[in-house]
């Protein structure tokens, strides 16, 4: 009988999200839109409400943009430079509290903030492509984050110029729940 039921449907913003490899270079991200994206990230949950994330934003035509694009790998430079916004993501991995020198949740919490930002972009008719194809060491030297902060990734945000793929491969729910361990270990 269960086979006759419709499968559960996730929210359209989640179902329609994809990471484009081509952006419309004429679509700019204005200050208001940038503010909305950052506000969405600001409200993400975090361990102990520590909010250990930060962002360096850059838009084409601004001096900040050149500081970032020069460090893109050729594979990402082909498409990311046309995005209306490049965001360098940072996690505060080391904190000043002598009792807590390392935040083991910083990367996880940053991921939450990026997910919120990504869905906000989707709700605004924009697309986000998260990536790590850049020279991390050189970009770190260029931007010189404060002590305790580490660059984690980048996000290209803009109007997608390529079409959403007709099919998208995803692991099954069963695989999501069984892949991290062997079934014999679970049965114990």
Least confident of 31-40, 45-54, 116-125, 175-184: 175-184
Rounded Cα–Cα distance for residues 162 and 140 (Å): 31
Higher pLDDT among residues 178 and 128, named by residue: 128
Instruction: Assess whether pLDDT exceeds 90 at residue 167.
Output: no
Residue 80: closest CA among 13, 130, 121, 35: 130
pLDDT score, position 1: 43
Q: What is the mean pLDDT of the chain?
A: 89
Q: What is the per-residue pLDDT across 39-92, written as a single tens digit (0 to 9) for each?
A: 999 999 998 888 999 999 999 999 999 999 999 999 999 999 999 999 999 999
* 119, β-bridge pairs: none
Percent of the chain with pLDDT over 90: 67
Residue 104 — pLDDT band, cuts 50, 70, 90? confident
pLDDT score, position 163: 75
Residue 124: closest CA among 14, 3, 36, 41: 36
DSSP the chain: -GGGSPPP---HHHHT----S-B-TT----HHHHHHHHHHHHT---GGG---EEEEEE-TTSHHHHHHHTTB-HHHHHHHTTSSEEEEEEEE-S-S-TT----TTHHHHHHHHHHHHHHHHHHTT-EEEEE--B-HHHHHHHH-PPTTEEEEEEEEEE-B-SPPPS------HHHHHHTTS-HHHHH-
Residue 188 — pLDDT band, cuts 50, 70, 90? very low
CA distances from 44 to 106, 137, 180 (A): 12, 28, 26
Residue 80: closest CA among 184, 173, 153: 153
Instruction: Give the number of residues written for the chain.
Output: 188
User: Residues 102-110: what's their mean pLDDT?
Assistant: 89
CATH class of domain segment(s) 8-187: alpha beta
Percent of the chain with pLDDT over 70: 86
CB atoms within 10 A of CB 173: 9
User: Residues 178-188: what's their mean pLDDT?
Assistant: 59
User: Residues 112-124: what's their mean pLDDT?
Assistant: 98
Least confident of 34-43, 66-75, 164-173: 164-173
């Amino acid at each position: 009988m269960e086979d006759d039921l419709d499968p559960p449907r996730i929210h359209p913003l989640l179902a329609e999200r994809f990471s484009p490899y081509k952006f419309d270079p004429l679509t700019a991200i204005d200050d208001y839109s940038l503010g909305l994206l950052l506000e969405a990230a600001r409200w993400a949950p975090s361990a102990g409400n520590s909010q250990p994330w930060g962002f360096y934003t850059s838009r084409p035509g601004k001096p900040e943009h050149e500081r970032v694009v020069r460090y893109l790998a050729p594979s990402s430079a082909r498409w990311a430079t046309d995005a209306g916004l490049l965001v360098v993501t940072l996690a505060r991995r080391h904190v000043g509290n002598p009792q807590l020198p390392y935040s083991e949740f910083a990367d996880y919490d940053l991921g939450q903030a990026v997910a919120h930002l990504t869905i906000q972009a989707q709700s605004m008719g924009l697309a986000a492509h998260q990536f790590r194809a850049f020279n991390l060491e050189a970009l770190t030297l260029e931007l010189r984050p404060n002590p305790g902060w580490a660059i984690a990734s980048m996000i290209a945000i803009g109007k997608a110029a390529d079409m959403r793929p007709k099919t998208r491969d995803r692991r099954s729910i069963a695989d999501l729940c069984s892949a991290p361990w062997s079934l014999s270990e679970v049965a114990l």
